[in-house]
Structure 1
Amino acid sequence: MENSPAPGLAGRREWIALGVLMLPLLLVSMDISILYFAIPFVSQDLEPSATQQLWILDMYGFVLAGLLITMGALGDRIGRRKLVLAGAAVFGAASVAAAYAHSADALIAVRALLGLGGAALMPSTLALIRNLFHDARQRGRAVTIWTAVMTTGISLGPVVSGLLLEHFWWGSVFLINLPAMVLLLVLVPFLVPESRTADSGTEGARDPFDLVSAALSLTALLTVIYGIKEWAQHGFAPVPALAVVLGLVLAHVFVRRQRRLTHPMIDLDLLGRRAFGGPVFANLLAMFATVGMAVFLTQYLQSVQGLSPFEAALWSLVPASGVIVAAPVATVLAQRTDRAYVMGGAFIFAATGFFWLTQVRTDSALWFCLVAGGIYVGGLVAAMTLANELAIGAAPPERAGSAAAVLESGQELGGALGMAVLGSVGAAVYSREMADALPADVVAALPGGEADAVRETLGGAAAAAVRLPAETGAGVLAAARDAFTQGMALASVGAAVVMVGAAAFSFVALRGTAGRATGKTGAGGGGGDGDGLERGSVEEGDLARAQTGVLE
């Protein structure tokens, strides 16, 4: 390749292609959180019911999570560049439709279409990195960029939303997607090579796409995530519990079907390798803490520190500065020692940040909370970067799409679990503390429904405090802020314990799966159980596969 500095090394064209691929990733991850501040304006305009409002917020994430595995396998079959272009077209068209939706039902349907487009884009971007960068060190840098862009997008969503809503109507938060999608459609055909499973003459490529497996994977993930979210929001109830059980049963059927198929949607042998399955589980634990604590930090900045939504969104970007230091340091250390030890150290670093967060009080200085956030965010992103790199490096190029989809599905499930478990812990502490703190005369002065709202959420207490006499309202609000902060502290303990467990898992289960990253093509390290040798042989065969038609 004329623009590559050396055989096997990516050159200017590959790095420009990476930059282009990061555009959809940034916007897809932003769309997960961009409606948080826009929903009051949407509610005023479209007047959705409470149930419709929840679906407007959740539909995008549900469909995105449920279709990742299907789209990853489809990209492996029809071509990942082709799927990126199709996803960009769907995402752009759905963005226009969402901006001009005239009813709540229409917006829910279009949010589902946005999830379809996002699911086509996300695994393909990570899979194409596997095919663009054959050198282990360069691929590590590319995966670091991918992870940072994904996490930054989630953080930027509320900021962009707040900025746009100060000057434009709520539909502008969707129209911001259009320029990037147009740029993607124009540049990708010239910069990104097509890649798919082997060549079109293989038996697997001629087999029809397995629609049954696609339906099973979609339904299983949707029902599990729905059940977990409903359980977290409303406590135990038969319907959410049945949804989780049904999802697990369907997942079991899906796995059994994959074992019988000649060309399965998920390579279960690959998932069983420590060098791939281990990082998938480590990423799940990292997202458990990331998403589970994000809700607490956002509410603390707004409802305890008293910042406006836009101010809170801007300050919430400060912890991301920890990534600037932690991720490059972790990458450098991974060149010199076993990545399992570096990942374990990153999880310990994150646990330190969570333990720091347990010391935050209602009257703590803003910087005290932000430093804690910077420590745990830096540790988590460093660990996720190395886990992503290890997993994608362990996957053969022809299965990179489905491998990336499995990795991202694990992240989505981890996030849902984190929100459910840690959110439930915080809610339980809040309710208990408020039940003890509210004087009987204050409870008697509140209408029945409003008293329940005060006991359940900090937002409910803040709304009720405005309607009470000044002194009583101030007392209720102070008690609610203290109860919320105590709930956040206990949830932080839970997150820290999980991070210590993730560190122990990395030290024990991932040791020897990758060895050191030498920066040479094919550097896989040596694994005591053979996983490292398998990974090494995969990487050494990358260029040979490229020369024989894996990359077109």
Structure 2
Amino acid sequence: MSFDQTTVIAGRPRSLREAWVALAGLSAVFLFEMLDNSILNVALPTIGRELHASTTALQWVIGAYAVVFGGLMLAFGAIADRFGRRRIMLAGLALLAFASLATVFVTTVEQLIAVRVAMGVAAAMTTPGSLALSFRLFEDDGLRVRATTLISTVGLVGLAVGPTAGGFVLAIAPWQVLLLVNVPVAVLAIIGVRRGISPDVPDELHRDPIDVAGAVLGTATIVLALVAPTLFVNEGAGSWSPWAVSVLAVIGAVLFYLRERSATYPLLDPRIVAHPLVSSGLAFKAAAGLATAGLGYLVTLQLQLDWGWSPALAAIGMLPQVVVLVAGGALIRPFVERVGLERAAWMSAAAVVFGLAVFGALSRYGYVWVAIALVLVAAGMRVVGVVAGVNVLRGLPKNRTTIGAALTDTATEVTSGAGIAITGTILATLFTGPITTPTWTPHQTTQFHQATTAAGLTLTALAAALVAWGIARSRA
């Protein structure tokens, strides 16, 4: 069956095949998000040499994108629900293409950071819209799950192959090519969105004024929450600055909540967030983000620093997770059909928590336990990433879809940063001396094992509390 655009305009597509042009464009958007940082990481040493960049500057080449992206998602989600999801998506894709082309003219690391900031803005304009628009394409929840699974699978393939592909590119071409690849991705996405998705229906948008004060408070709070983990890792828990930034983030969150409760037209109405499907879905996504980031950080340290594996061998050691993330999409549909959307959400979140508990309690006894933990967490994350996101959007009004998608992504971003900060703080507290020293003493090895267990089980307890709260909300 060929794609018939009148089908999408006059009524909802009845299959993924009818919507293949739109799904191709939306998949390209998610591919950009997943591919971008993973493919650039491998080029950081080359960039540092050619642009004479310091270690801190190189961190901001990656960090500037993540902070801007995470900080602006809520604001752009609200703007998209007000002025049009398709319109904001296309504007963001155009910005992505121009920012990527600007890489050709970069001669200093400061210019590269500016380019990365622009790309972070583009990501904030486009990424939440990919979930919102795919959700709005279909009326049937089963098709929504399948569409979201397809889009996320494309992105995860990009995440998996990004570092390897980047390494091959660097062998034959300058590092700028790694960012220029975003140009054809953006063009593909623009074509897919323009041809496959009809203009927004006015009834599915709202006409409320934008809550500027709420947008400023929300953005500032999220930016502070994303900067704090980096400060904890770089400066340690003994420094005052990460704690000061964390306190400011908490103050910002309180002020944001008070503003949204009192505003006539809030950016994010607390009553909407309190809907059982929305609050439970956010709790499950937050638990998955916390556990996944913490596990990834701990496994990397254990394989390379504790067991002395080379980076290449450590990458092979992570393959169980990569395989499950990429191939596990085929299992989502039958699993959801068997247990239902609500049960699938909490069961997959529980699998993430259980996998983290396995690592915290048993990883010191051999790689087989690490592999089991990686498989459990990846399997749970693969399902919860799709199902919890769909559940959140199911619980929202049609004119608040994009900010709901932005909220799920923001919850994952913030808790991922918290997972790394908690892990880094526990390691810094229990491990004496530089953790990257080539040879550890037996006492340091014992300290590392104790810190790994403490960090793993601490994150397990926090993630389990989020899952338990999510289950209680889903039954409300």
Question: What range is the shorter-chain TM-score in?
Answer: 0.7 to 0.9
| 1:71-470 superposed matches below 5 A | 71-98=76-103, 100-195=105-200, 198=203, 203-204=207-208, 207=209, 209-233=210-234, 234-303=236-305, 308-309=310-311, 312-313=314-315, 315-323=317-325, 328-329=330-331, 331-337=333-339, 339-358=341-360, 359-361=362-364, 364-365=366-367, 369-431=370-432, 455-458=433-436, 461-462=437-438
Question: Does the 8 A contact of 1:343 with 1:383 survive in 2?
Answer: yes
Deviation digits for residues 422-451 of structure 1 (CA, Å, limit 9, x no counterpart): 2222333333xxxxxxxxxxxxxxxxxxxx
Instruction: Give the whole-Å Cα distance in 2 for the aligned partners of 1:482 and 1:430.
Output: 9
The one-letter code sitting in structure 2 at the alignment partner of 1:494 is: T
More helix by share: 2
Q: CA deviation at 1:343?
A: 3.0
The one-letter code sitting in structure 1 at the alignment partner of 2:279 is: G
Question: Does the 8 A contact of 1:10 with 1:134 survive in 2?
Answer: no
Instruction: Give the whole-Å Cα distance in 2 for the aligned partners of 1:254 and 1:242.
Output: 18
Instruction: Give the whole-Å Cα distance in 2 for the aligned partners of 1:165 and 1:310.
Output: 17
Of 13-22 and 209-218, more deviation after overlay is shown by: 209-218
Change (3 A) 1:57 1:479: farther
Structure 2 residue 465 is matched with structure 1 residue 501: yes
Instruction: Give the whole-Å Cα distance in 2 for the aligned partners of 1:88 and 1:235.
Output: 39
Q: CA deviation at 1:93?
A: 1.8
Instruction: Provide the residue aligned with 1:467 in structure 2.
Output: none
TM-score by length of 2: 0.88
Instruction: Give the whole-Å Cα distance in 1 for the aligned partners of 2:181 and 2:442.
Output: 39
Instruction: Say which SS state the counterpart of residue 173 (structure 2) adopts.
Output: coil
Question: Does the 8 A contact of 1:293 with 1:422 survive in 2?
Answer: no
Q: CA deviation at 1:309?
A: 4.1
Instruction: Provide the residue aligned with 2:54 in structure 1.
Output: 49
Instruction: Provide the residue aligned with 1:9 in structure 2.
Output: 14
Instruction: Provide the residue aligned with 1:61 in structure 2.
Output: 66
The one-letter code sitting in structure 1 at the alignment partner of 2:352 is: A
What is the percent sequence identity of the aligned residues? 24
Deviation digits for residues 378-408 of structure 1 (CA, Å, limit 9, x no counterpart): 1222223221111111122221111111111
Change (3 A) 1:499 1:217: closer
Q: CA deviation at 1:340?
A: 4.0
Change (3 A) 1:85 1:277: same
Structure 2: tracts of 5 or more residues without a match? none
Structure 1: tracts of 5 or more residues without a match? 432-454, 463-474, 512-528, 530-552
Q: CA deviation at 1:45?
A: 1.3
Instruction: Say which SS state the counterpart of residue 34 (structure 1) adopts.
Output: helix
Change (3 A) 1:224 1:372: closer
Change (3 A) 1:309 1:114: farther
Of 239-248 and 282-291, more deviation after overlay is shown by: 239-248
Instruction: Give the whole-Å Cα distance in 2 for the aligned partners of 1:33 and 1:477.
Output: 33
Instruction: Provide the residue aligned with 1:18 in structure 2.
Output: 23
Q: CA deviation at 1:69?
A: 0.4
Instruction: Give the whole-Å Cα distance in 2 for the aligned partners of 1:111 and 1:143.
Output: 27
Of 486-495 and 241-250, more deviation after overlay is shown by: 486-495
Matched pairs, number = 469
Change (3 A) 1:169 1:489: farther
Instruction: Give the whole-Å Cα distance in 2 for the aligned partners of 1:477 and 1:20.
Output: 53
| 1:20-35 superposed matches below 5 A | 20-35=25-40
Instruction: Give the whole-Å Cα distance in 2 for the aligned partners of 1:297 and 1:63.
Output: 27
The one-letter code sitting in structure 2 at the alignment partner of 1:47 is: H
Instruction: Say which SS state the counterpart of residue 264 (structure 1) adopts.
Output: coil
Instruction: Give the whole-Å Cα distance in 2 for the aligned partners of 1:236 and 1:361.
Output: 28
Q: CA deviation at 1:223?
A: 1.5
Instruction: Give the whole-Å Cα distance in 2 for the aligned partners of 1:368 and 1:163.
Output: 32
Change (3 A) 1:499 1:255: closer
Q: CA deviation at 1:22?
A: 1.0
Change (3 A) 1:494 1:99: farther
The one-letter code sitting in structure 1 at the alignment partner of 2:435 is: T
Q: CA deviation at 1:280?
A: 0.9
Q: CA deviation at 1:80?
A: 1.2
Instruction: Give the whole-Å Cα distance in 2 for the aligned partners of 1:159 and 1:377.
Output: 20
Instruction: Give the whole-Å Cα distance in 2 for the aligned partners of 1:124 and 1:148.
Output: 17
Question: Does the 8 A contact of 1:340 with 1:510 survive in 2?
Answer: yes
The one-letter code sitting in structure 2 at the alignment partner of 1:165 is: L
Deviation digits for residues 155-177 of structure 1 (CA, Å, limit 9, x no counterpart): 44433333323333322221221
Instruction: Give the whole-Å Cα distance in 2 for the aligned partners of 1:335 and 1:84.
Output: 31
TM-score by length of 1: 0.77
Change (3 A) 1:111 1:180: same
Q: CA deviation at 1:151?
A: 4.7
Q: CA deviation at 1:120?
A: 0.7
